[in-house]
Structure 1
Amino acid sequence: MAISDGGGAAVREGSSSPVYSAPARWLHWLTAACVLALIPAGFVMARLGEGPVANALYELHKSVGMTAFAIVVVRIAVRLTRGAPPPDQGLTPFERALSTWVHRAMYALVFVMPILGYLGTSMCCAPVNLFWLAPVPLDISGSEATAKAIFTAHKALGFTLAALVALHLAGVFRHAVIKRDGVLRRMLPVR
């Protein structure tokens, strides 16, 4: 059970470390699900030749990317309005700095990458239907060369995001399995 501190954070019973608000935790896990679907789909679809499987993966990638963008916009709004708990007291200064920069970079990438995908797709690959149901307006024109440059940046940022996710998961593993310091509990959904 969590007891609210009134500022968007709560302290879980039996712990001295505040947890993130329920909306922040759920938005985190929704973002994680999207990113963990987008990265492998992006790698696979880029290696497939043209065909129905590749086309389906591209459409799924675009739809999940747009969904991730919407979630991260809400996440940023929640963070700005509700705040976040202070860093865990047990973190070293290096862990605190690394955690801050990895999280900021992941936020930035999950925000910027869908915009780049939208721009590139607008210039070359319309139409897009959100989960094969709702058409998405793609009103930005540009050359094929510009679209290719945008997709090159999108791909490079995808590799960067994958590396940051791996670093984030390594930190999760370190805190959950090696240090067993309860840091992970700050982001787990309340049971």
Structure 2
Amino acid sequence: MSTTKPDGYSPAAKWLHWLTAACVFILVPVAFTMVRLGEGALTNALYEVHKSVGIIAFLIVAVRVVVRLTRGAPPPEDGLSPFERTLSTWVHRAMYVIVFAMPILGFIGTSMCCAPVNLFWTIPIPITFTGSEETTGRILGIHKVLGFILTGLVALHLAGVLKHVFISRDGVLRRMLPGG
């Protein structure tokens, strides 16, 4: 783990952030849609997209955690209040935990009930888990609850971004923009 604080986010950290965000912005609407549709080809396709993007998100987040642990992160912006620093720290920590845990739980639950899990209809993921219908339901239930929590945290994160762009007019967003 890095003990020194870098001056800014590395290009890798910035791109991994935006790739994670893109995955979340695909996964959440697809999840909300697929569970509301009845049986059929569209529902099956949405589940396949959700599982595949979830696998990709997990890989991105795993690399992101390694980058964060080895490179570190810059200190919070000077103009943040103690409340903003604390809130930002805990929201980011919670999002890291959830975006790491959700794909694992989703994969385990799905492989228990609906193996094989394939990457975009083609590449089977050879790891499978077994468990009772009750265990599968619990795991996928936790996955679902984490999805709602993540949605709330992302909304809070975006509210913070908007506050910094339109009210504070400081450089917080520029720190995470590629080339910024």
Question: TM class, shorter-chain normalised?
Answer: over 0.9
TM-score (norm 2): 0.95
- Where does residue 28 of structure 2 map in the other structure? 39
Percent identity, please.
67
SS at the partner of 1:31?
helix
Q: Report the Cα distance in structure 2 between the residues aligned to 1:138 and 1:124, rounded to whole angstroms.
A: 13
- Where does residue 118 of structure 2 map in the other structure? 129
Paired letter, 1:156: V
CA contact (8 A) 2:108 2:128 kept: no
Give aligned pairs, total: 177
Paired letter, 1:174: K
Task: Give the C-alpha shift of residue 126 in structure 1.
Answer: 1.2
Q: Which moved more, 1:24-33 or 1:176-185?
A: 176-185
Higher strand fraction (1 or 2): 1
- Where does residue 49 of structure 1 map in the other structure? 38
Post-superposition Cα deviations, 1:44-103, rounded to whole Å, max 9, x if no partner, equal 111111110000000100011111111111000001111111111110000000000000
| Stretches (4+) displaced over 6 A | none
Map 1:140-159 to 2 at 5 A. Answer: 140-159=129-148
Out of 165, 172, 179, the position equivalent to 1:183 is: 172
Out of 153, 164, 168, the position equivalent to 2:153 is: 164
- Where does residue 12 of structure 1 map in the other structure? none
- Where does residue 88 of structure 1 map in the other structure? 77
CA RMSD across the alignment: 1.2
Structure 1 residues not aligned, in runs of 5+: 1-6, 10-17
- Where does residue 3 of structure 1 map in the other structure? none
Q: Report the Cα distance in structure 2 between the residues aligned to 1:165 and 1:20, rounded to whole angstroms.
A: 20
Q: Report the Cα distance in structure 2 between the residues aligned to 1:108 and 1:54, rounded to whole angstroms.
A: 28
Task: Give the C-alpha shift of residue 8 in structure 1.
Answer: 7.4
CA contact (8 A) 1:8 1:21 kept: no
Post-superposition Cα deviations, 1:115-167, rounded to whole Å, max 9, x if no partner, equal 11011011101122101221112421111111111111111110000000000
* Residues 1:20 and 2:9 are matched in the alignment: yes
Q: Report the Cα distance in structure 1 between the residues aligned to 2:171 and 2:112, rounded to whole angstroms.
A: 47
TM-score (norm 1): 0.89
Structure 2 residues not aligned, in runs of 5+: none
Task: Give the C-alpha shift of residue 169 in structure 1.
Answer: 0.3
Q: Report the Cα distance in structure 2 between the residues aligned to 1:114 and 1:150, rounded to whole angstroms.
A: 11
- Where does residue 30 of structure 1 map in the other structure? 19
* Residues 1:118 and 2:107 are matched in the alignment: yes
